[in-house]
Structure 1
Amino acid sequence: MRHLLRSARSPARRSPVVPSWVPRAAHDIGLAAWFGGAYMGAVALNGASREVDDPTQRARVANAGWFRWAAIVPVAVGSHLVGGVALTRRSGTARGAQAGVALARGALLVGALAATAESGRSGRTVSGAGDVPVATAVQPIDDTPDDVARAQRILRVVQWIIPAATGAMIVLDSWQQAHGGTRVAPERWLDAVLPG
């Protein structure tokens, strides 16, 4: 009875209605930007750094481009995550192949996030060293300081992990859309492997 009285005295709250296409657009545009920026950087930006004649300026040129992207990547990743959470809230329990796809997608997302974070950390190490000689943005030479060479070797790997993981997420999203358009909520990813 108290609950009825309390609800009668308080004005009804209306939750804003967001069209279903808005979270889908945020999710897809964020993922596309994350994939595209990482792939362009690995192929074009890091590759083009070898064209700089002075080896001490190669990392500086590539870093200038990467730091411009660094301002955008949190927006892209955030848009993808917020849109994804909104989409998953409407989903049911994972069943059959959808459960496996959800688990794979979750693992890819964690991998892409970790590789993106490591890319930023290692990139700051290279940039912080100043004008040091390198072969390319991700390839040291004998004269490259050890800490920079170590960071470059990490960057050489993660530059491909990010577009591979985000590209695979795009493929899995396409598969899910082709098979009913369902997206399984993260808290339900383990339903397929853990007993009820």
Structure 2
Amino acid sequence: MSERNTVLRSLHDVGLAAWFGGSLMGAVGLNGAAKAQGNSWEEGARIASTGWAMWVPVGAAAIGVHLVGSTGLLAANATRVVTQQGVAASTIAKTVLTGAALAATAYTRVLGKTIELASSGNPQDAEKAEHIPVDTGQAERRLSYAQWAVPALTCGLIVLNAVHSEQQRPAQQLYGMLRRARTLAPYVVRHWSPTH
């Protein structure tokens, strides 16, 4: 009933682990250290911005790896999504949560870039910051909330991944397929009835 998809699962899980762990460590450790070590707002913002800028390529790679694994697993489990009761619902929830996590990640990067430009000692960066529609104080307030959305949403994905793993147990697959067949039976009987 089930087949091995070790490479796809590894891509999915390692990418998600790095996305969650990196965002949580940044929100707790990097931002906290930058505030503690910076002698001024600008210095603290520069420290945090430098750390986040170094994380961006790794975070982007982690997200890409996770999405490749997710897409591959969805294709590999397409039959289960259709035939096993409950799998489609958890798959839709996971897709929506992934989209929300991607949007939150992109939004935090935009806000972080605004603060990076505003705190830079480079006059060209300060000039660029003036053309951004969001002021620095507003960007900082929004970022203080948005930076927690990414680890919260990716943690939700980890929980849904656990749900998917439980649904893949042979007994759960059989039970889910029987439930799906029972819900479809009245439609099939009506559709194939000789009177129609």
For normalisation by structure 1, the TM-score amounts to 0.72
Q: Secondary structure of 2:111's partner?
A: helix
Residue in structure 2 matched with residue 170 of structure 1 by the alignment? 158
Residues 58-77 of structure 1 aligned to structure 2 (within 5 Å): 58-77=44-63
Q: Bigger shift: 76-85 or 147-156? A: 147-156
Distance 1:155 1:80, change over 3 A: same
Higher helix share: 2
Residue in structure 2 matched with residue 128 of structure 1 by the alignment? 117
Could you list the runs of 4 or more consecutive aligned residues of structure 1 that deviate by over 4 angstroms after TM superposition?
A: none
Question: What's the % identity of the aligned pairs?
Answer: 38
Q: How far off is 1:104 after superposition?
A: 1.4
Residue in structure 1 matched with residue 147 of structure 2 by the alignment? 159
Q: Does 1:104 align with 2:93?
A: yes
Residue in structure 2 matched with residue 37 of structure 1 by the alignment? 22
For normalisation by structure 2, the TM-score amounts to 0.72
Please give the alpha-carbon distance, in whole angstroms, between the structure 2 residues aligned to 1:50 and 1:173: 34
Please give the alpha-carbon distance, in whole angstroms, between the structure 2 residues aligned to 1:86 and 1:171: 19
Please give the alpha-carbon distance, in whole angstroms, between the structure 2 residues aligned to 1:62 and 1:45: 6
Please give the alpha-carbon distance, in whole angstroms, between the structure 2 residues aligned to 1:78 and 1:55: 33
Please give the alpha-carbon distance, in whole angstroms, between the structure 1 residues aligned to 2:169 and 2:119: 49
Q: How far off is 1:164 after superposition?
A: 0.6
Structure 1: any 5+ residue segments left out of the alignment? 1-18, 133-145, 183-196
Residue in structure 2 matched with residue 8 of structure 1 by the alignment? none
- CA deviation digits over 1:137-178, x for unaligned, max 9? xxxxxxxxx711111122112111100111110111011102
The answer on whether the counterparts of 2:19 and 2:62 sit within 8 Å (CA) in structure 1 is yes
Please give the alpha-carbon distance, in whole angstroms, between the structure 2 residues aligned to 1:80 and 1:181: 22
Residue in structure 2 matched with residue 84 of structure 1 by the alignment? 70
Q: How far off is 1:49 after superposition?
A: 2.0
Please give the alpha-carbon distance, in whole angstroms, between the structure 2 residues aligned to 1:150 and 1:181: 48
Please give the alpha-carbon distance, in whole angstroms, between the structure 2 residues aligned to 1:151 and 1:41: 17
Q: Secondary structure of 1:96's partner?
A: coil
How many residues align structurally? Answer: 151
